[in-house]
Amino acid sequence: MTESTVNKVGVPGDSRLNDLKVNKSGPWWTKAPIIKDLRIAVGWQKGMLVTGLVITFFFILLAILAPLIAPYGYSQMKDSSGQAFPTQAAPSAEHIWGTTVGGYDVFSRTIWGARTAIIAIVIAVLLSIFAGVLLGLVSGYFGGWVDRVLVVIADAIYSFPSLLLAILMAIMISGGQSGLWSGILASGISITVVYIPQYFRTIRAEVVRIKSSAYVESAKVVGASTWRIMTKHLLKNSTRTLPVILTLNSSEAILTLAGLGFLGFGIEPTAASEWGYDLNRSVADVTAGIWWTAIFPGLAIVLIVLGITLVGESLNDLADPRLRARKSAGEVVGSIEDTSVDPSEKPGVRNEVVAELDAARNPLAPGETPVTVIDHDPAIPGSEWTGEGKAPASDEGKE
C-alpha cells in the first residue's frame, strides 16, 4: 500500500488497512478440484458437496478395509468348524444381516461388493478418460477427415442405449461371465465404451474453441512442437469440466455394473461379490417375505450413487457462475466496511471510504471546516453531505 493511499483512507495508529487479509497463493493441494470447490462453496451447495464426499469416502473406506470388516469371505458358505451356513436365515448374532438363498452371509457380501464396485469404477473411468481425451485432442486439433470419422463413430456409439451396449461388450469380451479380475476388467471395458464419446465430445469442443487463440498461435510461431502444443497448451485449458463429468459418470457406472450383474452378465458369485447379482437372487425372496437379502445390497447401491451424484451436481453448480451461490456481505473478509478511517466509530450502512475519497477530490477552501460523515437521522441510511438516502420529492406540490 502506497503512502498516498494511506494518507487518503487511513489515520495515524490505525493498522487495519495493513492487516487486511487478501487472497494469497496457498499450498499446491488447495488448488485440487475438490479442495478448491470446498473453499468457495457456501450454503446448500457446500452442504451437498460435504454430504456427497462423506458418503463416497465411507464406501471407499469399506472397500479398503473389507477384509477387516467382513466377518466372512464373499464366497464363504461354512464357518471355521466346517458347519454350513443356513439358507435364508433371518438376521441373528452369527449373521447380523441374515443369509441368502445360496447360503452366503449378506453383511459380508455387501461389504465385499463395495470393493468390486470401486475397482470397476476406477478402471472404467480411467480408461474412458484416457481414450476420450486423447481422441478428442487429436480430432479437435487436426480436424479434416480424421475429425469427421471420429465424430461419426462417437455419435454412432452414443446413440446406443448404454446398458444394451455394455451387455453386448460383456458378451464379446468374456462370454457373459468370468472370474474376479477378468470379470472386473470386462465390466470396466464394457462401461468404458459407453462413456468414451462423452469425454471425446467435451474435449473436442474445447480444443476447437481454443486452438485459434493467441497463445496457441504464439507457440506455433516460436517453433513449439505439435505434441507440446496439444499437451501443454490445449490439454491444460480444455479439461476444466472433466471432474464434473467424471463424478456423474461414476454414478452411472455403478448402475451399469449393477444392471449387468442383475441380468446375469456380470461377475460370477464365487469370483467376487457384486450387488446386482445379489439383487437378482433375492427377487424370489422378496415375494416370500424374506426382505433382508434384497434391502441391504439395494440400499448400498442407492447410497453410493447418491453420494457420487451429490458431489457431481455440486461441482457442476460451482463450475457455472450462473448457478454458483455467492457469499453474503458479512462473510466476505476484508470488505470496505472493515477499513473505516475512524477506529472508534462503528461502521454503518454507507461507505465511509468512498465519502473520504469524494472529499479528497473536492478539496475544501481555506478556512472551511471538514465535514464529518455521520448519520444525522437514523431513518436515513446515508448522510445529506454525500447525497445518499435522500427522500424522494413529495408529490403534494404537484396536486
Which of 125, 128, 123, 143 shows the shortest CA–CA distance to 234? 143
Give the Cα separation of 200 and 122 in Å (integer).
Answer: 18
Q: Helices 292-319 and 106-142 meet at what angle, rounded to 10?
A: 30
Query: What pLDDT is attached to residue 386?
Result: 47
Query: What pLDDT is attached to residue 236?
Result: 78
- Half-sphere exposure at residue 43, Cβ-oriented, CA atoms within 13 angstroms: 10
Query: What pLDDT is attached to residue 299?
Result: 93
> Which whole-number Å values give the CA distances from 134 to 122, 277, 317, in the listed order?
18, 34, 27
Q: 105 phi and psi, to 5 degrees?
A: -75, 125
Which residues face 267 on adjacent strands?
Answer: 178
Angle, CA 93 vertex, CA 92 and CA 96 arms, to 5°? 60
Contact 317, 324 (CB under 8 A): yes
Q: How far is CA 82 from the centre of its chain?
A: 47
Kindly state the greatest CA–CA separation across the chain.
Answer: 105
Contact 312, 237 (CB under 8 A): no
User: Tens of pLDDT along the chain (399 residues)?
Assistant: 444 444 455 556 666 656 655 555 666 666 666 666 666 666 777 788 888 889 999 999 999 998 899 888 888 888 777 788 888 888 888 888 988 888 888 898 999 989 888 888 888 888 888 888 888 888 888 888 888 998 898 888 888 777 787 788 777 776 655 666 666 777 777 778 878 888 888 888 888 888 888 888 888 888 888 888 888 888 877 777 777 788 878 888 888 888 888 888 777 777 778 888 888 888 888 887 888 888 999 999 999 999 988 888 887 777 666 655 554 444 444 444 444 444 455 545 445 555 555 655 555 556 655 555 444 445 544 444 445 444 555 554 444
- 3-class SS of residue 46: helix
Domain ranges of the chain: 43-78+85-321
Which of 160, 127, 165, 125 shows the shortest CA–CA distance to 245? 125
Contacts of 14 (CB under 8 A, 6+ apart): 341, 343
Query: What pLDDT is attached to residue 60?
Result: 92
The fold of 43-78+85-321 is MetI-like fold (1.10.3720)
Query: What pLDDT is attached to residue 111?
Result: 92
Give the Cα separation of 363 and 388 in Å (integer).
Answer: 20
Which residues face 198 on adjacent strands?
Answer: none
Contact 110, 300 (CB under 8 A): yes
Query: What pLDDT is attached to residue 4?
Result: 44
Give the Cα separation of 194 and 153 in Å (integer).
Answer: 12
- 3-class SS of residue 333: coil
Query: What pLDDT is attached to residue 388?
Result: 47
Query: What pLDDT is attached to residue 11?
Result: 57
Report which residue type is found at 383. Answer: S
Give the Cα separation of 90 and 285 in Å (integer).
Answer: 12
